Chain A
Amino acid sequence: MSTQAAIELIGLNKWYGAFQVLKDINLRVREGERIVVCGPSGSGKSTMIRCINQLEHHQEGDVLIHGEAFGQGPARDDAIRREIGMVFQQFNLFPHLTVLENCTFALIWVKHMPKAEAEALAMSLLERVRIPEQALKYPLQLSGGQQQRVAIARALCMSPKVMLFDEPTSALDPEMISEVLDVMIELAESGMTMIVVTHEMGFARRVADRVIFMDQGEIVEEAPPAEFFTAPRYDRTQLFLSQIL
């Protein structure tokens, strides 16, 4: 167990206008740790996870990635952000590029990797998410589950040290959820550091080291899944669990 945290949020506060979305968030994620975040709608889960790679900017507190803080100028911030892969609820694939190009794009334009090498790497990751045969299609020709797996492959292409997932299965039909979760479970088992916002409690039980429950911009409770699901300490958590389980 390394001493340095992969991700550290210290005293994070964020407001939208007068409305406080995040209230004094403190979170330490060790390398290789898998965190599942849950909570009611509007509780600030997306906002928190998006602060981690600074898609949203916070007003107070610090975000440290491998001990390094954001906010040292745009170039440095972009470099830190490259260590973090992100998968969105709405996939956000680039519709004008093929699946393969979606994956190689950043390798070529950001890492300046030769095209052939980038394509080989992308193909290996598309195999890992089990859709190499779709490489030359356009995203909108794929099913939701396939699109989401492409999005995972796209993020993995940049060899991130941390992966963030914001409700990766909420936009999917039930039949496709498991194909995406399977890929995520495999990723978790390979030792990737992951923060996953999801309401898939089966997934949480199976891979999470810790489950975090948020409400009204605060982290209410955090515990290992066994404890979290059987003996939640707060009434708010109990209520939430009784509603979704």
Chain B
Amino acid sequence: MSDALIFQPKAGKPAPPSTLGVVGWVRGNLVSSLPNAALTLLGAYIVYAFFSAVIGWAIVDAVWEAQNRRECLDLVGRAGACWPGVKAWIPNLIYGLYPKDQVWRINAGFLVLVLWAVPLFLPWVRSKVMIGLGLVLLYPLLASYFFHGGDKGLVWGALIALGLTGFLWSWLTAIAEARREAPLLEGRRRWILLAGLYAVSLLVVSQWVLDEVQTRLWGGLFLTLVISGFGITVSLPAGILLALGRRSRMPLIAAVSTTFIELFRSVPLITVLFMFNTMLPLFLPAGVEVNRLLRAIVAVCLFSSAYMAEIVRGGLQAIPKGQYEAAAAVGLGFWQSTSLIVLPQALRIMIPSIVGSFIGLFKDTTLVSIIGLFDLLSMARAVGEDTVWLGLFIEPFFFVTMIYFVFCFSMSQYSFHLEARLGAGQRR
């Protein structure tokens, strides 16, 4: 053994440069061979032709100032867009028929939403889960009064106050955590604080009077956001419960969940909307009037929950059985291992499909026009029916398309961002 060779590992060399520069990249990827170069040229031509046509129509040749469509046509004919019509209709496209002097309420309502969500993005805030839950559960209560207003009975008043309390609590928590005063919000003091906040909120709400704006006046982007907002926030938790139900070992629960899921997945959303709009009143006792918007929201929620349930079930199936077993072996019960071990992992891999479903839902809300609600798309159609802008269809549709694009594209970009952030340390 004494004369064994001694193994001397080589010192590592620096890695070769990974980028070849712009020229190298172009040569390698765009013009590596003759057919490849031809395809690149063709592709570039198509992109150029498309964008130059669109930009020419939408910007270069467009008319920006006019009193009516006739003027536009006299100026450029159909070669350029006629934006004044869209501009005149923007308030309606966004707020529907909401009274002009009340529109501030919608803006304020959404401002509250944004403010409420701010703590979720502050790095020092630790109670993000609680704040997020509060936002999802309590914001609709507060928003209901902003948007609808009118007579609030005792119960509704109490609920609105609950929403306000949630908002105040979120910000107090965020501030306290910024100043590391967390003990202020722990144990019994938290309950005293909450009770105090609620009392204040009740007082504020009792003094707060807004005119009623009936939901049939709601419309445009606002209505689209209300319906899809409900759909999105309801469908995820409901989908999770349905998916768990379908996998349950209890036959009754499994059967009910499966029936529900398959029923709603087997019919088009339009049918569900029709069903809820025309048939629901037949089942309800005479005199009970369910608001048309509410019917649409319920229909959208049920429909999207069924789809979400199958997405979630797929995600749950991807989690190895060993995870459940390890959780059980350290003494976690079913709900704990499901909510703390399995779901966080499953949701992370499901992000692309969940967001895909949200995007689909957002676009599907256009179908509510079928039952007489004026969402963004139906508002766009109304522009061309206005006598002043008669026949102006393409421009508002173009505009609305852009709005849909901005919303859907942001959602999908946010999902990439989430995926990257939640994936930290978990890439194999």
A residues adjacent to B (C-beta < 8 A) = 53, 55, 74, 78-79, 81-82, 84-86, 88, 90, 92-96, 98, 105-106, 109-110, 137-138, 140-141, 151, 154-155, 157-158
Contacts and interface: CB of A to CB of B under 8 A. Distances in A.
A78 B337 CA distance: 12
B410 interface: no
Nearest to B424: A138
Contacts of A105: 330, 340
Contacts of A141: 425
Contact of B426 (A53, A81, A95): A95
Given A84-B329, A88-B322, A140 B341 contact: no
Sort A-B residue pairs by CB-CB distance and give the 5 closest, nearest first: A138-B425, A92-B326, A106-B330, A92-B322, A82-B331
Contact of A140 (B320, B325, B332, B425): B425
B331 A106 contact: yes
Contacts of A90: 320, 322
B333 A155 contact: no
B425 A137 contact: yes
A109 B428 contact: no
Contact of B325 (A78, A79, A88, A93): A88
Nearest to A136: B425
A110 B428 contact: no
Interface in B317-345: 320, 322-323, 325-333, 336, 340-341, 344-345
Contacts of B326: 86, 88, 92-94, 151
Contacts of A74: 333
A194 to B, nearest CB: 15
Given A95-B345, A96-B348, A140 B328 contact: no
B329 A155 contact: yes
B-side interface size class = 20 to 34
Contacts of A140: 425-428
A106 B332 contact: yes
Contacts of B332: 106, 109-110
Nearest to B336: A109
B426 A55 contact: no
A74 B332 CA distance: 11
Nearest to A111: B331
Contacts of A93: 326
A98 B326 CA distance: 15
A53 B424 CA distance: 33
A202 B364 CA distance: 65
Contacts of B428: 140
A79 B332 CA distance: 10
A109 B336 CA distance: 8
Contacts of B426: 95-96, 138, 140
A85 B329 CA distance: 7
Nearest to A50: B325
A184 B132 CA distance: 44
Given A82-B331, A94-B323, 4 more contacts: A88-B325, A92-B322, A96-B348, A155-B329
Interface in B327-369: 327-333, 336, 340-341, 344-345, 348
A70 to B, nearest CB: 13
Interface centre among A85, A86, A94, A157 (most CB of B within 10 A): A94
B321 to A, nearest CB: 9
Contacts of A138: 424-426
Contacts of B328: 53, 55, 81
Nearest to A89: B322
A4 to B, nearest CB: 22
Contacts of B348: 96
A81 B322 CA distance: 16
A92 B425 contact: no
B345 A110 contact: no
A96 B427 CA distance: 10
A94 B341 contact: yes
A155 B326 CA distance: 9
A106 B330 CA distance: 6
A81 B329 contact: yes
Contacts of A154: 330
Contacts of A84: 329
Contacts of B323: 92, 94
Nearest to A86: B329
Contacts of B330: 82, 85, 105-106, 110, 154-155, 157-158
A195 B337 CA distance: 25
A78 B331 CA distance: 6
A79 B333 CA distance: 10
Contacts of A94: 323, 326-327, 341, 345
7 contacts: A79-B331, A85-B329, A92-B320, A96-B426, A106-B332, A137-B425, A140-B427
